[in-house]
Structures are given as C-alpha cells and as structure tokens.
Structure 1
Amino acid sequence: MSKSFYPKLALSNINKNKKVYYPYILTCIFTVMMFYMMSAIRNNSNLDKIHGAENLKMLLGIALFVAAIFSIIFLFYTNSFLMKRRKKEIGLYNILGMEKRHIGKVISYETIIIAVVSLTTGIALGILFSKLMFLFLLKLISFNVVLGFDVPIPSVISTLILFCSIFIVTLVYNLTKIHLTKPIELLHGGEIGEKEPKTKILLTIFGLACIGGGYGFALTVESPISAMSMFFFAVILVVAGTYALFTSGSIAVLKILRKNKKFYYKTKHFTSVSGMLYRMKQNAVGLANICILSTMVLIMFSTTLALYAGMEDSIKTEYPNDIRISTAPGIDDKTEEINKAINDKLKQNGIDIENYTAFHSITLSCEHIDGKFKFLDQDANLFGVNSIDKVKICTIMPLDEFNKINSTNYTLNSDEVILYSKKKPDAFGEFIIGNGNENKTFKVKEKLNKVSDVQHSNYENMLDCYTIIVNNMDTLKSIYSLVPSDEQKYNDMDYSVQFDTKCDREACIALSNSIFENVNIDGTTVEARNIYEARDDFYGMYGGFLFIGLFLSILFLMATVLIIYYKQISEGYEDKTRFEIMQKVGMSHSEVKKTIRSQVVMVFFLPLIVTGIHIAVSFRIIQKMLLLLGLANAGLFILCTIGSMLAFCLVYGAVFIITTKSYYKIVSSAEKN
C-alpha cells in the first residue's frame, strides 16, 4: 500500500465531512490565535512602560489561564462530537476490511493535518493581529501608543506546547475509543440514545434545590463582602442546577404534557412534544452548555463595560479634588507644621490653588452590638467577625471643620453629635462608642441625608459607614484616647488636605510628588496623591478588565455558536429520517415542516430564556460586588446589562438563522426522495 494512501484518505475524509470539520478547524485556528495574542500582549516588552503594568500583567495572566483551561475543555468536547458523527463511517471502513490499526493511521493523519493547519494559521494570524490588539488595549487604558513590533518567542513556544498537547490527548482518546469499540457498535454509534428517556425524579429535585439555593443566595445577600464570598458558591449551585434541570427536569415537563390528553392529542403538539422528548436526552447537555456560556458572556461583558463606563464617577468619588494629602499627626497635633510645609511647597512651585478643604478625623472599625460601637482589634479581621453586617466604619470629625466644609452653622453641646449614614441615617437615637470597658454616650441631635464628598469613607460602598460630628477637637481626642494604646498606631488620627490647582497635568503631578518626597515632619507620615496618576491607575485596572472581558466573551461566544451549529447539524441528520416517516403516515410537507420548525424554535430559544432568568436573578449579587470596585451607579449597570442582552439576542438570532439554513439543507433532501 502506497505511503501516500493514508494522508490522501485523511484529507479526503476531511473534505467529505466539511460540514462538521471545517467549523472545527476554524474554531481551532481562532482559539490558537486568541491564546497567542493574549500571551504575546502579556510578554510584550512595551507593556512595562505602561503605568500599573504589574496589575495589568496579573489580569492578563489570569485571562491566559482561563483561556488555556477553556481551550482544553472545549476542543476536547467538540472532538467528541466529531467522533460521534464519524462512528458509522469508521465502522463501515472496519466492516469493508480495514483493520483498526489502519483506521488509526487515518485518524492520526487527520489529526496531524488539522493540527498543522490550525497551529500555523492561528499563530500567523495571531502575529498579524497582536499589534492591533495591543494598540486597542493601550486605547482602553488611555496610554500613548508605543511604536515597535515584536514576536515574543515564549508566546510561540507556550502556544505550540499547549495545543500540541491538546491534539495529542484527543488523538489518544480517539484511538482508544476505536480500539475498544466493536465494529457493529461503531456502525450504529450515531443512533445511540434513541430510546425514550426515563424521568429522573431525584435528579430533578436536586436541580431545583441547586437552582433555588443559588437564587436564594443571589437575592438575599446584603453586604458586598458577603456577596463576594457567596458568589462563587452560588455560581456552582446554579451551574449544577442548570445541567440537572436540562437533563431531567425538561424530560419530566414533557412527560407531564404528554399525559395531558387534551393538549397532547393534537397534530402540532403531538409531534412537537414527541420529537422534543427524544431530542432532549441527547441534547440536554448541549443546551445547558449554551445556557451557561451565554450567561458567562453576558455577565463578563456587562460588568466590565459598566466598570469602564462608570470609571470617571469612581475617580471623582475617590478624588473630588486635584490633590489629596493625607497625614497622621497623632494625638500630639502637628497641624500647623504640616500646613506650613505644604504652603512652602506651593510657594516654591508658584502654584495657585482653589477649593481648599482641611479637616481632622479618626476612622475606626467597630462592631455594632446591642446599640454600642465597640472598637475592633487589629487582629480581629473584618471577615472574622461573627456577622459582617455588625461591622461599621465610624469616621469622627470636629464640628467647626465640618461647618466650614459644608457651609453650615450647626451647634453642638459636648454630649451631642450629628450623624450621617448613606444607608441607615435614622438608625439611632443615641451614639455609644468605646472599647467595651469604657464608653462615651452621645445624644444624636441631627441625622443628615447628605454631606460633602470629601468626607466620604473609602469603605462606604462595602460596609455601613457613619460620619459622626462632635462639638470640638477635645471631644474627638477624648474618644481617640479610649482606643487601646497598642491599637492607636492602626487607628491613627488623620489630617486631610485637599485642593484644586490652576496648573496642567505635569505640574500637578510634580507638586504632589514634591510634597510626598520632601514634606518630612518627625512622627508624622505624609502621603500625597493626585487625580491624574489616580486616573492612570483606574484606566489601567478597568481598561484591563474591559479588555479581558471582551477577550473571554469572544471566546465563549465562539463556543456558543459552534455548539449551536453542531446541535443543528446533529438534529438535521436525525430529523431527516423522522421527516420521511411522518410523510409516509400521511402528514403533508407543509405540516411536517411547520412542526419541525416549531420544535426547533422552542428548543433553540429555551437556553436564551433560561439565560435571561439567570441574568435577572444574578443582578443584585453582581451589583453588590461591583460596589467593591467603586461602581455605585446601579442605573448604569442596568443600562449596560440590558444593552448587552439586546446585542446578544441579535447575535443569537443571527446564529439561529444561519445554522437553521444548514439544518434545512440536510432535512430538505428527504422531501426530494
């Protein structure tokens, strides 16, 4: 036998099965290209020039790991589908005289051809488009374009190692399956699963319990920190429940419909329910995969888009002025020295300022028990408290500075306070704070609904935060004196100065750096930050989030499209036989076609409906998690979620139309017979 026989036969088989092989090859090429591009961007030498490069590299590393795991699982999954479609053909080869070792050689050459085409084309396209993707990333993070083009060799090597390993593992799996399977089983392999599926009551109950548990966590979570800890557990429950309900719950519902004689014994319902009942056993996992992947696409894209779109709001909340100077003068107030040092720097640089604010404060982590605020020890981690809802952040400041900042004229006695809380302004009539052994009690004179932005706590989006206004600095110091001496270094008295400058970006950055580096006062720490470098950090982080969200969304969307396509092709070959049988028993062409179309539409859009439910239920817990990243604009997140859902529905509908054409081309051949 000629040495070229097996390669030629392998190439001929790929061409003859182009409806299933060409999409698979395109998917392999695209997956290789995407993985290489992400790796090339992470290994790009120009990345080190970007502000916040370490954080960006960390995010890209996470995305690269996810892409690698996705590639392994997804390519192995699609390979399994291909082998199922090829079993009859392989069995026929075996019956016609080809030994299994000969069939193994053909399969090996097919794998080699696909691997060579996928790797060479994928890496070539990756090299071609990686610069474009890098420029897109720079645009997202608002960084000036870096010229130059390089091909990171480590990225090429890691891509080759990963995908060669995947192709080798799939080849070994295929050869093992062929070796262990009898020829007659191969010949009828494509028909496995035609028996009526059994109702699995326990699996249905398990699925409902998982979905109920996951939804319960998502709908009842209160704290953003609790949301973060519960989210992944809720995701596991919902994923498990989705697979269980698609596998067993759908069959149970269809059997209930079949028992309803008035509904079932109608032409359209009879054929639809029967067809879906048999189809659900074979396609339940595929439908569940479509549902889960669609949910992942929408969540990743909508959240990263919302974070990026709301970035300026987050920056303004964190930095209401151009420069923010935080100092810790301690109980021995060195405010005058700090002010003099800052003013000296302003004069040296010849910079005029406006919107100047300055205030003293103490920010204390407290546990709220029986109406009292007890200081938390440094060792008592926030996550270690019995209930995270008991943890409160109290920022205490003197009245004269508060009135100056807010342009108010409140008055207070030594036993009175003014209370502000974004979440619960009417929670208390008294304010009691202390170390547990010794407390101070104040009457709440006023409960405010709004205060100046400069007084907002960094923890405000995560925990219940309170701004407490006391009558003067002496009262503030008396509260501070209750903090145990070994804890005062962790709960220091702060003096914050904020102002806007009448200068450009470079001068503002130079001023803040000069203050940070040169304002040195014994026993006092000084930290100066400016809005321009903070914006760079935000763009680097949130731009990186959006880039990775887009990257992974495209990967998962590609997987969704391919699963839908293969499902349509598979159903087309199965319905071709049913089409012929229904015509022989007296149904017209139009009735059969209408029935099959109705059946396909119902099954096709079922995952989309479940995806919509998952997204709606998960909105609350995701919105809570976004608070941890500084996005408090729920309206923006709603718009991004709705917009993402509408765009995805358009893509999903387009995929339905395109793949349905392939389905009808297969089925329509039965009409001609």
Structure 2
Amino acid sequence: MTLFDLALKNIRRNIKIYGLYIGSTIFSIIIYFTFAMLKHSDDISGLAETSKQMQAVMSASAFVLMIFVAIFILYSNSFFMKKRKKEVALYSLLGVRKRSIGFLLFFENIVIGLIALVIGVGLGFLLSQALLSLLLKLMGLSLSVGFAFSMQAVIETVVVFFLIFLVTSLLGYRVIYKFKLIDLFHAEKKGEAQPKARIFSALIGVLALAGAYWLALQDLMTSSAWRVLGLAMPLVIIGLTVLGSYLLFSSVLVYILNLLKKSKNWAWKGLNLMTSSQLLYRIRGNAKTLTIIATLSATTITAGGAIFGTYYNTEKNVEELVPFSFMWEGEEQDIDPGLIEDKLSFEAKEVIVEGEIYDEAYSVIDKNAFQNLAEALDWDIDNMELEQDEAIVVEPYFDERWQEQPETIDLTDDVKKVEAFYDKPLFNIPTLPGTTVVVNDTAFEEIDGEKANYQAVQIEDYKSHLDLSKELEAKTENFSSAVQNYQASIESSGAMLFVGGFLGLVFLVATGSIIFFKMMTEAEEDKDKYTVLYKIGVSKKEMKKTVRYQVGLIFLAPLVLGLMHGTVALMAFSNLLQMNLWEPVTIWMAAYTMIYILYYMVTVRGFNKTITQAVTQEG
C-alpha cells in the first residue's frame, strides 16, 4: 500500500475528525469563489459608470478576503493538526520514518484541499447567482440575470487556494521535525500563556478604553486633541482600544473572577467554584484570542453599521439635497397633470460679491417666491413682512460647529439685516447651489444681477419616473432630478452595503468559528474532569449548566466589548456626518447578535455532546 492509498484510507476512516476542517475549508472556498464570480461577472461589468467603481471595490475587497481566508484556513489547520499530533506520535512509536509520516500528512492535506475545491466551487457557483440578484436589487437595478460561469474566477480561486493548501501541507510536514515525541503526545494539553492579573494592569486597561472612547467622540473640527495628534489620531484610538481590550480580558475579568472565587456565598453553590476556576483559566489562556475577536467584531459592527446606515438613509439624504422632484432653468415643460403635486415657476438673480480670499455667490429671490417654495416643501415659516433693508437667509451647508448665524448680509454694498435663517435647502442643490437670500419685491427689482427663470416640480412617487426624468433632462438646461440622484446614490451605497455585508458575514462566521474551535478543543481536554464529577455524583444537568455559563462568558465578553467599541465608533461617525444612524445601527447590531447567539447554541451543543459521550462510555 502506498502512502497516497494510506492517506485516502485515513480520510475515509476519520471523516468525523476531518469533517470540521473540511467544512471550514469548503466555507472559505465558497465565499472566495462567490466573490470572484461577482468580480468577473459580465452583468457587473455592463453597468457602465457603476462598473469602474464596482470593479475597484470588488478587487480591493477580494484582496482583503484572500488574506483573511488564508489566516482562517491556517488557524483551522492548526486546530486540526493539534488533534492529529497524538496520532503522529503513534506512527513514530511504531517505527515509521518521519519523512514518510510527513508525506502522509502532506498527501492527506492535498486530497482534502482538492475535495474542498470541487465542492466549494460548485456551491459557490450556485450561491453567486443568488447573490448577484441580491446585489442588483440593492443597487435598484432591474436587470435579468442569467447563469454565467467565469473560468477566470475558477482559475483565480484554484491558484489562491492551491498556494494556501501548499503552505498548510508544508506546515503539517514541518510538525514531524519540530516536536519531540513526548510533546506530540501532550500537544492537546498545551494552551496559551497565562498572563497574571494585577490591579495596576486592570486600571491601565480601564483608563485606556476610557481614553480611546473620549478621543473617538471628540469633534473633528473643534477638538484640540485632533489639532495636536492630526492624522495620528485614528492610530492612537485603535492602539488604546486594542490595549484596553487585552488588559480587560487578561486582568479586569481575571480580577473579578478571583473575587467571585473568594466569595463563600457564591462559590459554594453548586458547581460555581469549578465554573469560576475553569473560566479563570480560559480567560487567562485565551486573552489574545478574545482581544482579536472583540477587535474584529468592533470592526465588522462599525463598518457594517456605517454602510447600512448610509444605505438606510439614502432616500432621506437625497430629499434633503434635492427637495423637488425636478428643477431646471428655462421655460415650462409638458408633464402629465395626473402626476403633478406642485408646480412652481419663479425668478432668481445671481449676485457675485467679491471677497478678500474668494468670491461669494448668492441666489436672490423675492418673498412671494420664497413663500410658494416653502409651502410646497411643507416648511413651517412665519408670515413676516420684509422691509427694504431686511432679508431672509437660507444656507443649506450651515454647520454650527464652525459657523455662526449671520446677523447681516452684504449684497454688493447693500447690507441687509437678517430677520430669519434656515439651514436646509430651498432649491435642488445641483441647479441652484450655495446661499439663498430672500428680499421684498422692491429690493429684488433694484438688485443688480443676472435674472433667470426656473421651474420646480413635485410629482407622486418620484422614484418610479426615471424615464420622465431623462426626457426632461434632454430638453432643459441646468436640470436636477431627485430620481436620478436617488438612483446614483442607491447604486453606490447598495454596492457598498453588499460588499460590506458580505465581508462582515465572513468575519462574523470566522470569529464564531474560532471560538467554536477553541471550545471544542477544551471540551476534549476537560472530558476526563467531567467524567470524574459524574462518578462522584454530579448530575448531567449540573454539568450542562456549568458548560452554558463557561461558554456563555467566552462568547459574551468579546461580543459585548465589540458592541461597545462599535457603538462609540458609530456615534463618532454619526456626529461627523450629522446623520441619525440609531435605527439602522440597532437593526445591524441585533442581526449580528442573533447570528452570534446561534454560534453559542451550536458550541454549547457540541461541548455537551463531547462530555456526555465521555461520561456515558465511563458510566
């Protein structure tokens, strides 16, 4: 029998042991091939203007995905090899040469890789068709999607994963020469280094997190911290967050668990003493892993929440910048009267005021036009009479963080007192950008400026009238349209939501899998302890209860910390863009938490199954 035959026989015999590794490998191939299929899709390439943006986003995301998938498979492989080291030691003990054992592991890994590639590419092809339809729907595009197979995507996926499998196979080969025989027998019992809990470290961790949160919530425009740190500010925030997270796990939680162990009222109830001791070991041993998971969770929540928030508010943002369905310069156009809700015609003058640094352009209208426009937009305005030296100012770009409301306005040596001020657009920004000044009829006629006639139209359900918008655009000048602005925004934000959501799901599955691998490894290590507990009279119900508590804290700690980091980051993002993101962010966080809870339930079930089988065999 050749080594290759033996490798195939091993895989068939140990399919349960291999199953977890094969599953994670297939998942990695599916997500990468799906992304590659979308990147090379003719439907995406045919989106003209959107194509360039999508290709750039897809290419950058594919590179990030490739790095992440490589790390994920290497981690899965290390977990798999840890379970195989005892088997490798037995081969050595029976006299099999290290070189032969190395080739055996090499062949096994290559075969697993080939099986995973075939399955992953097949499932990825089917998934890519569904995801392409989802992408086009998110982008607001009604295109028919046919089944298209990209050979370029297949070649790219095969090359990437062949290199990854080659590296993991060589690492498996290296295991034989790196460890002594006794080390291989006890490989499963080796954990991560256990940092000591110190009050000073715990205090530093809390202060680091508090400092990171405080810096993150500082206003970009007015904060002295931003002026001092400049572009280094994000790096400082990230550094403090990672440091604070690590010290929180390695010191703060360890300190709290030690206090619980010393509490007689709590420690001597049921298996609480054992639970706290086990948690103490796991938190200390997995501090680095939990820090990475919390950081990845925060990154996923922040990026996904920001992108989803932008997509969620697309319509609102469009209506704020383009309040009228259509606006153009020139004469009226024929539009089906049944569609029209409001139709206004008004005159505006452009006044250029020379300044020391730059010239200021104002759009000046009379009070009657202002009232008609404001009523069409459902503004709550005071019906005031304007004197010759009075004016109303509308500044759509006003930001109180670095601007003050003007008390007067200078229109070419004609200074007028500002009686009312509004900080939202009265016109469609693309047609009439900048500041609008409202004066009485007499003052409007006297102002020296170039007069132009404008039309503003509101129609029902503007998003479904793209053809009408394009028809009007062809016949008018200085045209702006809510539907075209919405379409462009939804295409851009929809593509970003798809990519962000896809990568976020990958990160979520990867972080959940890492905890799952960790817990299943520790379940194998702890099953002898639970067998002893069962023999001295501890019920299976009590053992399952302590498992739920232990696994729960390992899942809950990085999740809660990730949610805290993400909340602070999204608050900073919301303040920067002056957007209300609470509703979409809450939805995003709830979805993230629900998927995490599913991983927790699967892990608890797997842990309980491992110890139950061990207890049953001994019993």
RMSD over aligned CA atoms reads: 4.4
CA distance in 2, matches of 1:459, 1:668: 72
Partner of 1:529: 480
User: Shift of residue 104 of structure 1?
Assistant: 0.8
Partner of 1:651: 595
Give the stretch that moved more between structures: 281-290 or 531-540.
Answer: 281-290
Alignment partner for residue 78 of structure 1, among 76, 79, 100? Answer: 76
Partner of 1:356: 345
1:280 aligns with 2:283: yes
Q: Is the Cα–Cα contact under 8 Å of residues 321 and 425 in structure 2 kept in the other structure? A: no
User: Shift of residue 585 of structure 1?
Assistant: 6.6
User: Shift of residue 620 of structure 1?
Assistant: 0.8
Gaps of 5+ in 1: 326-338, 366-373, 379-392, 479-492, 517-526
Gaps of 5+ in 2: 376-382
TM-score, structure 2 normalization: 0.81
Q: Is the Cα–Cα contact under 8 Å of residues 322 and 498 in structure 1 kept in the other structure? A: no
Per-residue CA deviation, residues 142-177 of structure 1 (Å, 9 max, x unaligned), is 222235443222222211121111111222233234
Partner of 1:41: 38
Q: Percent identity?
A: 25
Structure 1 residue matching 2:144: 3-state secondary structure? coil
Alignment partner for residue 573 of structure 1, among 520, 524, 535? Answer: 524
Partner of 1:500: 457
Partner of 1:154: 152
User: Shift of residue 574 of structure 1?
Assistant: 2.0
After superposition, residues 218-617 of structure 1 pair within 5 angstroms as 218-221=216-219, 234-235=237-238, 237-258=240-261, 264=267, 268-325=271-328, 342-343=330-331, 346=333, 354-360=343-349, 397=364, 400=367, 402=370, 405-406=373-374, 410-414=385-389, 418=393, 424=400, 431=407, 444-448=417-421, 453-454=426-427, 497-500=454-457, 505-515=466-476, 527-582=478-533, 591-617=542-568
CA distance in 1, matches of 2:481, 2:549: 61
Q: Is the Cα–Cα contact under 8 Å of residues 276 and 599 in structure 1 kept in the other structure? A: yes
Partner of 1:368: none
Structure 2 residue matching 1:142: 3-state secondary structure? coil
CA distance in 1, matches of 2:203, 2:352: 49
Structure 1 residue matching 2:196: 3-state secondary structure? coil
**How many residue pairs were aligned?**
594
Per-residue CA deviation, residues 305-326 of structure 1 (Å, 9 max, x unaligned), is 333332222222222223344x
Give the stretch that moved more between structures: 585-594 or 174-183.
Answer: 585-594
User: Shift of residue 67 of structure 1?
Assistant: 1.4
CA distance in 1, matches of 2:270, 2:147: 64
CA distance in 1, matches of 2:258, 2:471: 73
1:57 aligns with 2:55: yes
- Residues 258 and 508 of structure 1: CA distance in aligned 2, closer, same or farther (over 3 Å): closer
CA distance in 1, matches of 2:127, 2:542: 49
Structure 2 residue matching 1:454: 3-state secondary structure? coil
Per-residue CA deviation, residues 2-42 of structure 1 (Å, 9 max, x unaligned), is 22xx2343344445554553232222222222222222222
Partner of 2:379: none
Q: Is the Cα–Cα contact under 8 Å of residues 84 and 189 in structure 1 kept in the other structure? A: yes
CA distance in 2, matches of 1:560, 1:409: 61
Partner of 1:334: none
Partner of 1:487: none
CA distance in 1, matches of 2:432, 2:541: 64
- Residues 129 and 23 of structure 1: CA distance in aligned 2, closer, same or farther (over 3 Å): same
TM-score, structure 1 normalization: 0.75
Q: Is the Cα–Cα contact under 8 Å of residues 547 and 607 in structure 2 kept in the other structure? A: no
Alignment partner for residue 98 of structure 1, among 96, 107, 112? Answer: 96
CA distance in 2, matches of 1:505, 1:587: 70
Per-residue CA deviation, residues 322-367 of structure 1 (Å, 9 max, x unaligned), is 3344xxxxxxxxxxxxx6xx33x948999999233553457999xx
Alignment partner for residue 132 of structure 2, among 120, 134, 143? Answer: 134
- Residues 211 and 359 of structure 1: CA distance in aligned 2, closer, same or farther (over 3 Å): farther
Partner of 2:378: none
Q: Is the Cα–Cα contact under 8 Å of residues 394 and 467 in structure 1 kept in the other structure? A: no
Which amino acid letter does the alignment assign opposite residue 274 of structure 1? S
Q: Is the Cα–Cα contact under 8 Å of residues 40 and 155 in structure 1 kept in the other structure? A: yes
Q: Is the Cα–Cα contact under 8 Å of residues 224 and 624 in structure 1 kept in the other structure? A: no
Partner of 2:380: none
CA distance in 1, matches of 2:128, 2:327: 39
Alignment partner for residue 669 of structure 1, among 599, 608, 613? Answer: 613
